[in-house]
Amino acid sequence: MIPVILSGGSGTRLWPLSRSSYPKQFIGVTEERTMFQLTLARLAGLPDVQAPLVVGNENHRFILGEQLHAVGVKPHAILLEPVGRNTAPAIAAAAAAASAQGADPLLLVLAADHVIADTPAFHQAIAAGVAAAEAGALVTFGIVPTAPETGYGYIQVADRVEGISAVAVSAFVEKPDLETARRYLADGRHLWNSGMFLFKASVLLAELERFSPAVVKAARESVAQARSDLDFIRLDKEAFSASPEDSIDYAVMEKSDKVKVVPLSAGWSDVGAWGAVWDVATKDAEGNAARGDVWLQGVKNSYVRADHRLVAAIGLDNVMIVETSDAVLVASKESVQEVKKIVDRLKAAKRPEAALHREVFRPWGSYDSIDHAERYQVKRITVNPGQKLSVQMHHHRAEHWVVVSGTAKVWLGDKEVLLTENQSTYIPVGVVHALENPGKIPLELIEVQSGAYLGEDDIVRFEDRYGRA
């Protein structure tokens, strides 16, 4: 069995914590470990499980690599999608890659951003689906509903759900209205559609050939023409882009007669909005879930998260408050689904807060934009041990670097200098330069940029060990 971890989502409904450049699966939403890392940890103890095959957005490739490394997981492969095409092409590409050289493994397809509280129950459900998948079924996992939820699609079965076994699916049902959802909850024949699957690679590809041949054709060609880049496999852009943009449900699950569902009752949540985060969080006697430096007075049934400063709230009920370094969200619990509209407005206004955190991660480390005005910008730069920024120059800005801690190896034109704590250097406009941390501890420095234009696109790269353009 090869786990296939889908990690390409943007997670805009958990803004401002989740941004398109650093979405929720890579953030510690429910605890210190990220949701992606929790998904990996959940695989421990499954019998005959191989290293995971991760499918991700190429813009997140270094985040993926770093988070895998942090928990000591060496993946089967990391497939990079050149463009987003929904779940059907992503899973088809994973199946094509996993079945190379004639292999035909079971694929356990999981999202990277789900919460599952009861891992043993999760393992039990997977075990219940293995025999059906080995026999040629497309197995999905249906969550036993605990409320009349209108935000999920449903899977209908013939009889009331009893026990844990793979049963035939009668129908896939779209997201219902509240009255219909209450009826589904009462009749016991409807399960929430979790978006988790188990099947043989060959069976999935054969069923896609029947119902969505363009998807599987594009997937196979994109894998066949893929190229290796460090630890990543870059799917061919032209071939992958030719695929229809379909979900796996629409492309095959709703059409195939081979589909079976295993009921799963394991404290599952897709954590799709701040209300869902409150649902799964530990709460105090007043129904509040707080994280960070939070002080509450007369507050009930609320979620308050403070990541960078003290947050105090007084006399509130059913409110979500989320503080980050550059944005604060305050919303009623009933309105948290509207967060996406705020993100859309920020994108339309070309506000960086829609996509980026103040701290931006790079393959060599990170930088934090501390201050900026019309003709200057101040950043705190962290370079990890042994890492090096690209050899580059700028047309519009000069830079002044001050080392706070660690050791910096700096190239300025044809000169090489070594700087330590409290030493500094100046890089004039147009001078080719590079920065490396040759030491064993992180290099911390303050960068002051000055000039008429300070955008991140004012970089001309001459050499880059990470393969960036």
pTM for the model: 0.88
468: pLDDT strictly greater than 80: no
Percent of the chain with pLDDT over 90: 84
pLDDT band at 214 (very low <50, low <70, confident <90, very high): very high
296: pLDDT strictly greater than 80: yes
The mean pLDDT of the chain is: 94
Mean pLDDT of 413-426: 96
CA pair distance 144, 150, nearest whole angstrom: 14
Task: Pick the range with the lowest mean pLDDT from 215-219, 337-341, 399-403, 464-468.
Answer: 464-468
What pLDDT does residue 163 have? 79
Considering only the top CATH level, what class is 2-269? alpha beta
pLDDT band at 360 (very low <50, low <70, confident <90, very high): confident
207: pLDDT strictly greater than 80: yes
Topology at the third CATH level for domain 359-463: Jelly Rolls (2.60.120)
99: pLDDT strictly greater than 80: yes
Gyration radius from the chain CA atoms: 24
101: pLDDT strictly greater than 80: no
Domain ranges of the chain: 2-269, 274-347, 359-463
Percent of the chain with pLDDT over 70: 100
Q: What angle do CA 245, 248, 249 make, to 5 degrees?
A: 115
What pLDDT does residue 62 have? 86
pLDDT band at 8 (very low <50, low <70, confident <90, very high): confident
104: pLDDT strictly greater than 80: yes
CA pair distance 255, 213, nearest whole angstrom: 13
What pLDDT does residue 325 have? 92
CA pair distance 81, 104, nearest whole angstrom: 22
Q: Which amino acid is at 460?
A: V
Contacts of 162 (CB under 8 A, 6+ apart): none
10: pLDDT strictly greater than 80: no
What pLDDT does residue 421 have? 95
pLDDT band at 9 (very low <50, low <70, confident <90, very high): confident
**pLDDT, tens only, 41-68:** 999 999 999 999 999 998 898 899 889 9
